[in-house]
Amino acid sequence: MKDKLSEAVSALSVDYLDIRMENRWETRIVYRGKKQEEFSRTKSSGGVVRALDKGSWGIVSFTDLSRIEKSVFLAVREAKIKRGGESKLAPAPVINDRVDAGVKTDPRDIPLETKAELMQDFNAKLMDHPHNPSSWVYYKDMTTEKFYINSEGSYIESERIDCGATIGAIAKKDGNVQTSHESMGGTDGWDNVLKVEDMIEPLKERAISLLDAEPAKGGKFDCVLDNRLTGTFIHEAFGHMSEADHMDDNESLQKVMVLNTRWGCDELTVVDDGSGPVGLSGTSRYDDEGVPTRKNFLIKDGFLTGRLHSRETAGKMGEEASGNARAIDFQFEPIVRMNNTYIEPRDWKVDEMIKDIEKGYYVRGSRGGMTNLDMFTFSAGEAFKVENGEIGEKVRDLTLTGNVFETMKSIDAIGDDLVIFGKGGWGGCGKAGQSPLPVGLGGPHIRIRNVIVGGR
């Protein structure tokens, strides 16, 4: 394969050229309620060529190895037709390496029948309650064999195995529908899926308990966020703002994302780390431009200190490539994406955060949300009233909303209980039509003062 790719890369003259090829095997099992919607094993193969010349890209994807030379020719021609500027790529080391998957228990060694029976069992247990039950179960394992080469001399072969499941419980009563879901997944193998069983009973209990909970009251409140919601917040609300390709034509964002400006209290440090921890969904040795991943400090001790880059965005901004150019598969070019994004822990205990709140909420989990770069809205999985430093009754339909910049400055307590979650099953991050991309997210518990709470 290396000889074939090397021959193609050296065929024509441009400022830069790379080829990424992939072979991918997937197993999918899907239940919705009592119905099994999918039970499949598939294989796909293909690649993408990128040519850069005088500031313009030519990008061509292919699914037939015999068309590599033709695809290179077309990509180079496209780049040369459009050229009219200066090619700016941040420098990157020349890498020659082979990366093995390194899973603990390889899902390929688990019989398909065993996988199917386990998902059927999960689904039956999720449906085992009296409140007009329904459910969903998504299982996926995916083996990706990747070959990367560029015109600067790098050649990398790698194997990656993603495996995980997403499950959800649904309960209904008098027109009120409540859901609860969890994901478990990563790159360390089948054992992740076995952990899902422990989530089933708490999920059902959560969905059922929300049926009788009163709606949350809207207003401005002090809120304590659990590890998962902290991760969702920092990924969605702040992480996407840190992706440098958002800044090219967004003058308002450029004014906000100025390095060395204060973004929070002295204790606030936000990290995106593609180099670890091992086994997380966002961990890999190299990104899809062959750049080594690393620990990137986005906020350090309250000040904005970095952003996430591809080689091109780094070159244009005079900064270092950060190892964050990623693509979901061979059909797409790599764009700037997060890896494992989290807030670093400090020394607060959860009960200390709660004790200091006169009136507010303890908020756990996430049922999704939306961001428009500087503005965000998230729906909580569940929440509890906090009055005079004590956790009280459960409430439902609580949302958190606000301006990211102001909300980050309102974080005044950061816990000592860091947890980073891998997105499993079919979960992941979406951007520019590329979804779901495996990522990790998390953090410790945090307290935010005067956050806008939506309710009834």
Partner residues linked to 189 by β-bridges = 105
Cβ neighbour number for residue 376 with a 10 Å cutoff: 22
Does the pLDDT at position 370 exceed 90? no
Say which residue the tokens 């190895």 belong to.
Answer: 65
Does the pLDDT at position 53 exceed 80? yes
Per DSSP, 234 falls in state I
Structural contact between residues 444 and 418, judged by C-beta atoms closer than 8 angstroms: yes
pLDDT of residue 215: 94
Structural contact between residues 296 and 308, judged by C-beta atoms closer than 8 angstroms: yes
Q: Cα–Cα distance between 373 and 87 in angstroms, integer?
A: 28
Cβ neighbour number for residue 382 with a 10 Å cutoff: 21
What's the mean pLDDT in 153-166? 96
423-444 residue pLDDT tens: 666 678 999 999 999 999 999 9
Say which residue the tokens 């050649």 belong to.
Answer: 155
Q: Cα–Cα distance between 449 and 130 in angstroms, integer?
A: 39
Ramachandran angles phi, psi of 7, nearest 5°: -60, -40
Partner residues linked to 225 by β-bridges = 363, 446
What's the mean pLDDT in 221-244? 95
Q: Predicted confidence band at 456 (pLDDT cuts at 50, 70, 90)? A: low
Q: Cα–Cα distance between 41 and 330 in angstroms, integer?
A: 18
Q: Is the pTM of this model over 0.85?
A: yes
Dihedral angle of Cα 36, 139, 338, 341, to the nearest 10 degrees: 120
pLDDT of residue 123: 97
Q: Cα–Cα distance between 270 and 307 in angstroms, integer?
A: 11
What's the mean pLDDT in 113-139? 96
Cβ neighbour number for residue 120 with a 10 Å cutoff: 14
Dihedral angle of Cα 376, 382, 387, 392, to the nearest 10 degrees: 180
pLDDT of residue 314: 97
Structural contact between residues 446 and 343, judged by C-beta atoms closer than 8 angstroms: yes
Please give the domain boundaries of the chain with CATH numbers for all domains.
2-212 (3.30.2290.10), 215-454 (no CATH)
Q: Cα–Cα distance between 13 and 151 in angstroms, integer?
A: 10
- Return the structure tokens found at 224: 């304590």
Q: Reduced to 3 states, what is the DSSP secondary structure of residue 169?
A: strand
281-296 residue pLDDT tens: 999 999 999 999 999 9
Q: Cα–Cα distance between 384 and 391 in angstroms, integer?
A: 6
pLDDT of residue 367: 85
Which uninterrupted H or E stretch holds 316? helix 311-317
Say which residue the tokens 């797409």 belong to.
Answer: 332
398-409 residue pLDDT tens: 999 999 999 999
Does the pLDDT at position 280 exceed 80? yes
233-264 residue pLDDT tens: 999 999 999 999 988 878 888 888 999 999 99
| Residue 116 or 11, more confident | 116
Does the pLDDT at position 317 exceed 80? yes
What's the mean pLDDT in 38-48? 96
DSSP string, 95-141: -EEEE----SB-GGGS-HHHHHHHHHHHHHHHT-SSSS-EEEEEEEE
Cβ neighbours of residue 23 closer than 8 Å, sequence gap 6 or more: 43, 44, 45, 144, 145
Q: Which amino acid is at 134?
A: S
pLDDT of residue 4: 72
Q: Mean pLDDT check: name the lowest of 5-9, 81-85, 227-231.
A: 5-9
Say which residue the tokens 């989290």 belong to.
Answer: 342
pLDDT of residue 341: 97
Q: How many percent of the chain have pLDDT more than 70? A: 98
What's the mean pLDDT in 354-382? 90
Q: Cα–Cα distance between 438 and 339 in angstroms, integer?
A: 8
Which of 132, 251, 141, 243 is closest to 186 using CA atoms? 141
- Kindly report the average pLDDT of the chain as a whole number: 94
Structural contact between residues 299 and 269, judged by C-beta atoms closer than 8 angstroms: yes
